Each structure stands twice: as C-alpha cells, then as structure tokens.
A and B are shown apart, each in its own frame.
Chain A
Amino acid sequence: MELIEIKLPQSNVNDTTARIIEWRVADGEKVSIGQVILVIETSKSAEEIESPASGYIKILSQVDAEISVGETLAVIGASPEALSDIAIKSPEARPPEVAIKATADAKELAASHNIDLGVLKVRGIITKRHVENFIASIPKSSPIPPKTSGGRNVPLTKVQLASMEAVSSSTRETATTYVLGEADITNCMAALDSLIDDEGLLLSITDVAIHFCSRTLRNFPRLNARLAVDMVVEIPEINIGVAVEINGDLHFVVIPHADSLPVSIIGETRQESVFLLLKGQPLKNQQPSTFGVTVLDQPGITYQIPIVFPGHAAITGFGPIRESFTINSDGFPEKRKLIGICVSYDHRFINGTLAANFLSSLIKRLEEGTLN
C-alpha cells in the first residue's frame, strides 16, 4: 500500500484556509476507511473529515493550526514503519514575519558593507540604490590626512561610520527627552546571585535589566512602538536591542520576544551574540529591535543618558550598582544596593507622564526583584 495523504478539502468556495478543531484519533493509531478522524472549522461551520483509507495514521498538523486548502494534514500507511520517515511539521517551520523587506541585490550589498538594513529608514522594499545612497551618506575619511602636530589620524571603522549615521539621524529627527530615577535592587541582586550560585548561570545586571524592561513594556505598548507618517505603530513583539561595545564599535544585540523568556535564556542569547562579535563574526538574521537597553557600570558614575535609537520610541540607560545606607522601617540604617535609571523617550509621541509611569513601574518591579 502506498502512502495516502489526507489533504484539506475545499468545502466552502470562499475559504482558502480552515482551522483544526479536534483530532478524533491519536497519532500512530490504526484507522479504518470512513472513520471520522478530525474536525475542522471553516468560516461557516465545523466539518468532520473521514479517513479515505484503512491503515496507520501519521498526524502532521496539530489542533488550532491554520491549514491551507490542499495542504496535507495526515498520512495513512500500511504499517507504523511505513510512516517512520515522515517529518512532522512544527509551527516554527513557518517563515517568521520579516519586517524589513529588501531586494536580493540590496541584501548582498548591505552584507558586503556590514550594514544593518534596519538602520536604513526606507518605506517599502529596500533596493540596492537605497543601500548605495546610505553608503554615500557615510562620511568618507579624507584621502589626504590633514597635517597635525603630534596627534594621530584614526580612521573610523565601518561599524563606527554606520552607527555615526544612526546617531546623527536620531539627533536630527527625534525629540529625545529624559526622566531619571533610582531603584533599590538589593532583593533583585540577591535573587540573581542565587541563580548564579545555585544553577551556575552566567548572568549580569544587563540581563536583569532586559528582563524587567521587557516585562514592564507589556503594559506600555506606546513605548514599544515606532512613528509612521501620521500614526504610531505599536509593535506586538517586544524585541530588546542591547548596546554592546566591542573594540570601540557599538553593536546592537537583539533579544527577540524578551518578555516571554526566562532571564537565563536572555543571558544565554545575549552571550552567544557577544561571543560571535568578539570573534569578529557578523550577527546574521537578527530581528529588528523595538526597544533599547544600555548598561554602563564604571564606578563613580550615577546615571547615563542614552539617545533614542532611530525607529524606537524609547530606551533605558542603567548606571552602575552602588551601595548606600538607607533607613529601614525599624529606623535603623541598612546597607542597600541602588541603581540609577534613565528613560530617554521620543517626546514627539510620548508624554512625560507616560515615560514617568513606565519608569516608576519598572522601579517597582526591580525592587520586588522577582526573577522569572
């Protein structure tokens, strides 16, 4: 017996897809011809699908999956062995939504110049010419270095030139405004330390910052947004871009869907990217970030005030952790760990109150210090 594919039928002229509501049989089960094996939902009604043959079934699409007409839902074979080589489609197999569309030529040119296409502010499809224009806008070091007395001429790297353009663009086009605050992260650091000690994880305050920022953002969609012509696009995914400096070059490492990841995975993802950068390898297929986080931990610093990255609504800048005595509820001085936080936001579409509420909410979460 050959393998028989069960495909989604066209049951209603207007439907191109249907949803699987229920499998009436288990994967690998023996089925007989005419037996109802699954129920699908079209735009009009629920419909039962019968098995076209007798044999063993291999289920390929799971409940709740949206299936196109003609797509194979399951396969029936004479024996369980006949089905062993058939791969199950996982939902992840679908191509992810690509926010930035670029032509083949544009991608090639950008890759050869180490340019992140997300930096180009193009509406629609990015073409080779857009990339060329961007490259042309990057100032070239002059061929004959000006004469200096005793100093030295240091040409900027490609990455530095690209981030120069991004920074200039931010300064030119956004109206960045700031709100500053301080959080007591004693509990938080204790929790972090126990994760590090008990589970042997390599985590830093940066991962904690990403963790809390992304979760707080869930309640502040306006800050996880970008401005488009005459509207604010609130982005459903929370992809945190964290600034990483390597050999004087500023990179942005993206943690996609950071709000749904445990801090351990955030740390792992970040470190993998940093590791690649340290080896001088480019970060491929990075998703565009939606919100920025940056941490500076040099002693003596209290605050850092970052600029909003082009295409973002806001960024949080964290200073180093410092220790200070505060008076506890019993009236005794107590040594606590404090951190200075700055929220920089694009005042064109975000008001001070909203930014302050965000910061306040972030501080509250940090002080509670519940990791995961």
Chain B
Amino acid sequence: MKESFELLDAAQAMANIRTFEQTLLNLFKKGLLSGSTHTSIGQEANAVGVAAAINQDDVVVSNHRCHGHFLAHDGNMTSLFAEIMGLEGGVCGGWGGSQHLCIPRRFYSNGIQGGILPLGLGLALAMKMNEDHRLVTVFIGDGTLGQGAVYECLNMAAIYKVPLLVVIEDNGIAQSTPTKNTLAGSIVDRILAFGLRCESLEYPDARQVFEIASELGSSVRKGKPAVLVLRSARLGPHSKGDDTRPLKEIEELKKLDPLMRMIQQLPAGAEHRIFNQAEQLIEGALLQAQKYSEAKYIPIQKTKSLNVHSHPVADDPDSIAIARSLSGISFLEQINRALHDVMAENHSTLLLGEDLLDPYGGAFKASSGLSSKYPGRVIATPISEESFVGLCGGLALEGKKPIVEIMFGDFLAVAANQILNHLALYRGMYNRQVDVPVVIRAPMGGGRGYGPTHSQSLEKIFAGQSGLRVFAPSFMHPYKYLLEMALNSPDPTLMVENKISYPLRPEVDAEGLISDLFCHYHIEEDDIVLTLSPSAFEDDDFNIVCYGGMVPLAINAAQQLMLDHEISIRIIAPSCIHPLNAENLADKLVVDKPLIAIEEAMSAFGFAAELIAQLAEKDISPKVFRRIGAENCVIGAGRNLEKFILPSVETIISAVLELKGE
C-alpha cells in the first residue's frame, strides 16, 4: 500500500486518461483507427484511486473498458496507442487491440464480460499457494453482474480465501440498457450472500477510492477477499456513437465528474496546466507510436516429422519397448500413474476438479491416492466448470501447471467460454508473452448407458480452435509421454479420454505383438502415432484411421477380419487430433488401398472430414474412402440403443466386407 495520496498527481493521472481516450475518439472520427474502443470518461477516479492503493507488482485484471486501468497501473501510453492502432510496438504487438492488453504478471484484460473473474481468481489462488505478497484486483462493470461466472468466482474466492479484490464500477448503464432494467435486488446484498466483505461508495473521487481500496487491500492481502462497489458516471458512449441517453441526463451526470470536482480543490489555474500537460504527453506518445510499422503476420513454421522414414515397419525395437511398458496396465492405471509421476516430478503441477479427493479419488478414480500424497495440490472444486477451468488460466499465468478434470466430457460445453475465448486465446492475443500449460482431462464417449448428456464425444467442438491442442490417446498410447508433452507445451491441451477404455489392458506378447498385431509407435514432434498390422505391414488390404476409443474396436475388427477372411487391416491411430497433421498420417497409409476413418461421434464436421480434406489437398487421397461414426441422433441410454447408434466392431467388419465385395 502506498503511504500518501497526492491530489495533484491523481488529477493529472485522471486528466491523462481522459485526454488519451478523447484523442482515441477523435482518431476514430478521422478514420485512423479500426475496431472499437470503450472509454472510461467520467470513471477515471476508480482506476487512479485503486492504482494508488495497490503496489506496482500487484496484478490488475480488467475488462473491455480497460485503458484507464492500464494507464493508471503504470502502463505505457505509447505502447497502448500503438496497440490500439494495430502497430508492432503495441503492448501486444497489435494482436490484442483495445480490449486485450497484457503486461505479464501485472496486467491482463479481456473483452468477454465476466470471463476475467476466473482469470483473476486463478492468479490470486497461485499467489496464495506461493505465499506471494501480491494481490489481484479485478475490475468489472454492473452489466457484468448478469454473468454466472461472477458468482461462481465470488463463491470460490470466499472458500479458497485468496487475495482477490473485485471492483465493481456501477455506472448505471450496460451499453444502452439502464441497470435497473436488468438487475434485481441490490449489488451489495448479492456480495454479502457469499460472506465476503463489501464496501460501496457513491460517485467517489480518487481520494475516497484510494482510502477505501487501501483499507480493503491490506485485508485482501491476508487472504480475505473483498468487493468494492463504486457508483460512477459514464460520461461518454459505451464504445463510440452508441449513446442513446438524452443530453439532459448526461449534463446532469457531468456535475458528478470526479475529475472536475478534484480540480476544483486545487489552486486556480490548475485545470489549464493539467490539461495542457496531458495534451503534450498524449501528443508526444502518439507521435512516438506512429513511428512503429503495422503488425505483420508471420506464418508459424509447420512442424515436421522427426522420423526420416516414418512408414511403419515390424520389430522396431523402440516400439516393442513402448508396447511392453504398457502391457497389462489398464488405461486408468496408466493415467493414474502418469498423474502421480508428474505431481512428483514438478511441484508446480496441480490437480483440480470435482470430487477428486480421497477416498473417492474422482468419478473414474483417475486421481486416486493423489490428494493423500500431495495435500494442498489437489483442489476440489464446486460444480462450476466454467470458473474452475478458467481459473487454471490464472494459475498458469503465474507459473503453475494445472491439470483439470471435467467429470464427464459433455460438461466441457459448460466451460467452453473459458476454453475457447480465454485459455486458447491468451497466448496469441497477448503476443506470446505468456504460456498457458493447462491440461483439461475429459472422459468422453458412450457405451456405459449414461444417456444423452453423459455419453457424447464433443471433441470436434474444440478441435479446430487455434491455440488449443486436442489429444485423444487410445489405451495403447503412452499416456505419460503425452501428458508431459502437454504440460511442457505453452498452449493448453484438451486430453480426451474414452471412458470405456479405462479398464482395457494392452495384451502384449513376448514378441512385442499387441493382440497379435505388429505395432509401430511413431514418435513425431507433436504426437505419437500408433500403427498396427497383422501382417507385419507387408501385405495390408485396408487402412483404418481412428483414435481414442475406436482403436480397441478397430483392433478387434482387424483380428476377426484376419482370422475369418484373411483381410489384413492396417490401423493408423494418432493421438493428436488437432492440429491434425494428415501429412504425417499419409506416410503410414498403404497406398492404393481403401481408407476407412472412424470416430465415435457422428461424422459430420468431424475427424474423418478433416482427414480426407487434408489428404485431398495434398493429392494423396485414397480412391476409396468411407467414414464410420455415430448415427445422427442423441445417444440413447438403453444398451440396445447404444449398440445401434455408436460404431461397433460389427459396423467396421461389415463396412470392410462390403468394400471388399464379400
């Protein structure tokens, strides 16, 4: 906490923000800026008062209306101009723009309403775990109180006792809708319901904000999260040209302008001097910023296979060693052991999710024994998927490596906002200044009769998002290797685990054959591709490309097709389904033989579609191609329904025999 508050300094800081934002509006009018901007004209006292109350190394997390918070927390004016103008010298190299700013470990903003709460919560949780002296301040507006994540996070903040200060700037209007039309009850009562400390001020000036924020800050630092509600007047539009309020109303609000009220307390002539200085500063910063060139897109180099010859061969000694290491170990045991290993090897690794603690150890027991062995590093969460996935982003930005379990993969959709709009984007939109090594484990798939909302394979919803990797290993892939790859990656990874594969154990014989099939594990830079063949890869009649839970079905079909019909199936099973590298898979295909791609979800817009599209673009598509997937209907709970709806060994065998003309 800062010891003193200088009125003149505060007024100058506020005038700087106001002049900066007015300049932005002018630049827009002149057509010099693209995109949008949300100014905080009239609310500068909140930013400046809070910034004065916290330390320079504290973290501020802000929203779409973030310029004031950024500048007040010692942000660089030139780099903010450059960012908003899409220039290389911007805070985020022009990638983030007005709403997505980042100073690693000090300032983050994001344009999704309420989405920053989980981020702030995660940062604060990391600070608590690290016994860090810092605190996290999250600024939200009254409009954001319509988002559920806000309450999930207030709840968790109270339970986890983290150093989190939430500042609600209540300007009485959300874009164009008056708050009274959308907000029932009282804001303060909502906060108090969580047992959190809550203070509120009506149209405060910067000094009042400073004083109350300082007081709250010292208790927040001791692990007592608090909320500060600041009634404020938004004097400008929501973004630009979208203010539908009557002029008279705005004129009334202008009387509450904290900047002018503060200037009135200063000696005569202060207003002129302050604004003069602000204009000079802003003009200088703008000129400086304009020297930067426009942000340029440099394509990321495509990864190449490490194997010079990545076509499959029988008796690759490394492959036999991998197969033997997995022999007789169930998929679930593999996962549990891998989790134990990564927890032991790196103290930054954390586990989060519902019901993870012993003796229960998670719905599928993947976390069994971990909370007993690593107390404090296995965190049981409330049923708040969006927020507990989102807070992993905050943990990661503070150097943690969180592994979060979604009890059923279907619930990923609840967390989709945080996965798609936050975790996956942080690294790109913050111009690669941050790493987000979050692993999201999701048991997926049907076959257990859990019914339509607990049986889906939703990975395709997430595959295709930039900045997010999707692994879907089979029970015969070395899980630990992939888990480590994910944890060492700067990007978040969705780890799709087929739940009916959990009890499966690879049957590896002394000669390194898996279920009588020759195997080859291809270690690629970003994946492990498993190929299997009953005829030592020499005489295969069909290609089957599949992943995850479809691999055991394909193996079973391959055995039967060989024993009964002497048809040799080559199975090609990647574990990384996004980004899918079909070029890598193409090396492993038997050229000129039919290709069947299998996925458990219905085929539309899925894995097989992506695979064939990529192959076709490379002019290496097979002449005969078939997709096998679920029927286009919900996954019925009944055993017989599942049997009919989901792909099965029989479906695969009959597809092969049909193509073969038998």
Q: List 28 A-B contacts (CB under 8 A).
A: A10-B448, A13-B363, A13-B364, A13-B448, A13-B499, A14-B332, A14-B365, A14-B502, A15-B503, A16-B503, A101-B563, A103-B565, A123-B518, A124-B518, A124-B534, A124-B536, A125-B534, A125-B535, A125-B559, A127-B535, A128-B566, A228-B510, A228-B511, A229-B320, A229-B512, A230-B317, A231-B510, A233-B510
Chain B residues with CB below 8 A from A106, complex form: 566
Mark out the residues of chain A between 81 and 108 whose CB falls within 8 Å of any chain B CB in the assembled complex: 101-106
Which one of B320, B363, B539, B566 lies within 8 Å of A105 (CB-CB)? B566
Contact bitstring A204-220, B, C-beta under 8 A = 1, else 0: 00000000000000000
Say if the beta carbon of B58 comes within 8 Å of chain A. no
Which residues of A approach B to under 8 Å, CB–CB? 10, 13-16, 44, 101-106, 123-125, 127-129, 228-231, 233
Given known contacts A14-B502, A15-B503, A127-B535, A103 and B512 CB-to-CB distance under 8 angstroms: no
- In angstroms, how far is the closest chain A Cβ from the Cβ of B272? 74
Within the assembled complex, what's the spacing in Å between the Cα atoms of A128 and B539? 13
Within the assembled complex, what's the spacing in Å between the Cα atoms of A273 and B513? 33
Mark out the residues of chain B between 330 and 371 whose CB falls within 8 Å of any chain A CB in the assembled complex: 330, 332, 363-365
Say if the beta carbon of B279 comes within 8 Å of chain A. no
Q: Contact at B503–A125, with CB atoms within 8 Å?
A: no
Say if the beta carbon of B199 comes within 8 Å of chain A. no
Given known contacts A13-B363, A13-B448, A124 and B566 CB-to-CB distance under 8 angstroms: no
Say if the beta carbon of B516 comes within 8 Å of chain A. yes
Within the assembled complex, what's the spacing in Å between the Cα atoms of A234 and B448? 38
Chain A residues with CB below 8 A from B535, complex form: 124-125, 127
- In angstroms, how far is the closest chain A Cβ from the Cβ of B314? 8
Can you add 5 more A-B contacts, CB < 8 Å, to A14-B503, A101-B563?
A: A13-B363, A124-B517, A125-B562, A228-B511, A229-B315
Contact bitstring B479-499, A, C-beta under 8 A = 1, else 0: 000000000000000000001
Which one of B317, B510, B564 lies within 8 Å of A103 (CB-CB)? B564
Q: Contact at A127–B562, with CB atoms within 8 Å?
A: yes
Which one of B315, B330, B365, B566 lies within 8 Å of A127 (CB-CB)? B566
Chain B residues with CB below 8 A from A14, complex form: 330, 332, 364-365, 502-503
Which residue from chain A places its CB closest to the CB of B315 in the assembled complex? A229
Within the assembled complex, what's the spacing in Å between the Cα atoms of A277 and B564? 30
Within the assembled complex, what's the spacing in Å between the Cα atoms of A102 and B502? 30
Chain B residues with CB below 8 A from A16, complex form: 503
Within the assembled complex, what's the spacing in Å between the Cα atoms of A227 and B502? 32
Within the assembled complex, what's the spacing in Å between the Cα atoms of A18 and B513? 28
Chain B residues with CB below 8 A from A127, complex form: 535, 562, 566
Which residue from chain A places its CB closest to the CB of B368 in the assembled complex? A44
Which one of A105, A125, A230 lies within 8 Å of B516 (CB-CB)? A125
Chain A residues with CB below 8 A from B317, complex form: 230
Contact bitstring B553-591, A, C-beta under 8 A = 1, else 0: 000000100111110000000000000000000000000
- In angstroms, how far is the closest chain A Cβ from the Cβ of B518? 6
Which residues of B approach A to under 8 Å, CB–CB? 315, 317, 320, 330, 332, 363-365, 448, 499, 502-503, 509-513, 516-518, 534-536, 539, 559, 562-566
Which one of A10, A102, A123 lies within 8 Å of B513 (CB-CB)? A123
- In angstroms, how far is the closest chain A Cβ from the Cβ of B495? 18
Which residue from chain A places its CB closest to the CB of B443 in the assembled complex? A13
- In angstroms, how far is the closest chain A Cβ from the Cβ of B473? 17
Chain B residues with CB below 8 A from A104, complex form: 563-566
Q: Contact at A229–B534, with CB atoms within 8 Å?
A: no
Interface majority SS on A: helix, strand, loop or mixed? Answer: loop
Chain A residues with CB below 8 A from B562, complex form: 103, 125, 127
Q: Contact at B513–A124, with CB atoms within 8 Å?
A: yes
- In angstroms, how far is the closest chain B Cβ from the Cβ of A95? 14
Q: Contact at B563–A125, with CB atoms within 8 Å?
A: yes
Chain B residues with CB below 8 A from A102, complex form: 563
| Residue of B330, B499, B534 with most chain A CB atoms under a 10 A cut-off | B534
Chain B residues with CB below 8 A from A15, complex form: 503
- In angstroms, how far is the closest chain B Cβ from the Cβ of A63? 23
Within the assembled complex, what's the spacing in Å between the Cα atoms of A124 and B518? 7
- In angstroms, how far is the closest chain A Cβ from the Cβ of B358? 13
Within the assembled complex, what's the spacing in Å between the Cα atoms of A124 and B503? 24
Chain A residues with CB below 8 A from B510, complex form: 228-229, 231, 233
The 10 closest A-B pairs by CB, nearest first: A228-B510, A233-B510, A228-B511, A123-B511, A103-B566, A14-B502, A125-B534, A14-B503, A16-B503, A125-B516
Within the assembled complex, what's the spacing in Å between the Cα atoms of A16 and B332? 13
- In angstroms, how far is the closest chain B Cβ from the Cβ of A101? 6
Chain A residues with CB below 8 A from B364, complex form: 13-14
- In angstroms, how far is the closest chain A Cβ from the Cβ of B475? 12
Within the assembled complex, what's the spacing in Å between the Cα atoms of A104 and B562? 9
- In angstroms, how far is the closest chain B Cβ from the Cβ of A94? 17
Within the assembled complex, what's the spacing in Å between the Cα atoms of A230 and B315? 11
- In angstroms, how far is the closest chain A Cβ from the Cβ of B368? 10
Chain A residues with CB below 8 A from B539, complex form: 129
Chain A residues with CB below 8 A from B503, complex form: 14-16
Chain A residues with CB below 8 A from B511, complex form: 123, 228-229
Given known contacts A13-B499, A229-B315, A124 and B516 CB-to-CB distance under 8 angstroms: yes
- In angstroms, how far is the closest chain A Cβ from the Cβ of B18? 60
Chain B residues with CB below 8 A from A103, complex form: 562-566
Within the assembled complex, what's the spacing in Å between the Cα atoms of A123 and B320? 13
- In angstroms, how far is the closest chain B Cβ from the Cβ of A345? 19
- In angstroms, how far is the closest chain B Cβ from the Cβ of A78? 28
- In angstroms, how far is the closest chain B Cβ from the Cβ of A96? 16
| Residue of B330, B536, B563 with most chain A CB atoms under a 10 A cut-off | B563
Within the assembled complex, what's the spacing in Å between the Cα atoms of A125 and B503? 25
Chain A residues with CB below 8 A from B330, complex form: 14
- In angstroms, how far is the closest chain A Cβ from the Cβ of B70? 48
Chain A residues with CB below 8 A from B365, complex form: 14, 44
Within the assembled complex, what's the spacing in Å between the Cα atoms of A233 and B565? 30
Chain B residues with CB below 8 A from A230, complex form: 317
Chain A residues with CB below 8 A from B448, complex form: 10, 13
- In angstroms, how far is the closest chain A Cβ from the Cβ of B209? 53
Chain A residues with CB below 8 A from B363, complex form: 13
Which residue from chain B places its CB closest to the CB of A44 in the assembled complex? B365
Within the assembled complex, what's the spacing in Å between the Cα atoms of A275 and B320? 44
Within the assembled complex, what's the spacing in Å between the Cα atoms of A16 and B503? 7
Within the assembled complex, what's the spacing in Å between the Cα atoms of A233 and B510? 6
- In angstroms, how far is the closest chain B Cβ from the Cβ of A222? 14
Within the assembled complex, what's the spacing in Å between the Cα atoms of A231 and B323? 14
Chain A residues with CB below 8 A from B502, complex form: 13-14
Within the assembled complex, what's the spacing in Å between the Cα atoms of A124 and B558? 12
Within the assembled complex, what's the spacing in Å between the Cα atoms of A14 and B510? 27
Chain A residues with CB below 8 A from B536, complex form: 123-124
Within the assembled complex, what's the spacing in Å between the Cα atoms of A127 and B561? 12
Chain A residues with CB below 8 A from B559, complex form: 125
Within the assembled complex, what's the spacing in Å between the Cα atoms of A10 and B566? 36
- In angstroms, how far is the closest chain A Cβ from the Cβ of B542? 15
Which residue from chain B places its CB closest to the CB of A235 in the assembled complex? B510
Within the assembled complex, what's the spacing in Å between the Cα atoms of A124 and B314? 11
Q: Contact at A101–B566, with CB atoms within 8 Å?
A: no
Chain A residues with CB below 8 A from B518, complex form: 123-124
Chain A residues with CB below 8 A from B563, complex form: 101-104, 125
Within the assembled complex, what's the spacing in Å between the Cα atoms of A10 and B510? 33
- In angstroms, how far is the closest chain A Cβ from the Cβ of B515? 10
- In angstroms, how far is the closest chain B Cβ from the Cβ of A127? 6
Within the assembled complex, what's the spacing in Å between the Cα atoms of A230 and B294? 61
Chain B residues with CB below 8 A from A125, complex form: 516, 534-535, 559, 562-563
Within the assembled complex, what's the spacing in Å between the Cα atoms of A103 and B559? 9
Which residue from chain B places its CB closest to the CB of A102 in the assembled complex? B563
Which residue from chain A places its CB closest to the CB of B366 in the assembled complex? A14
Which residue from chain B places its CB closest to the CB of A17 in the assembled complex? B503
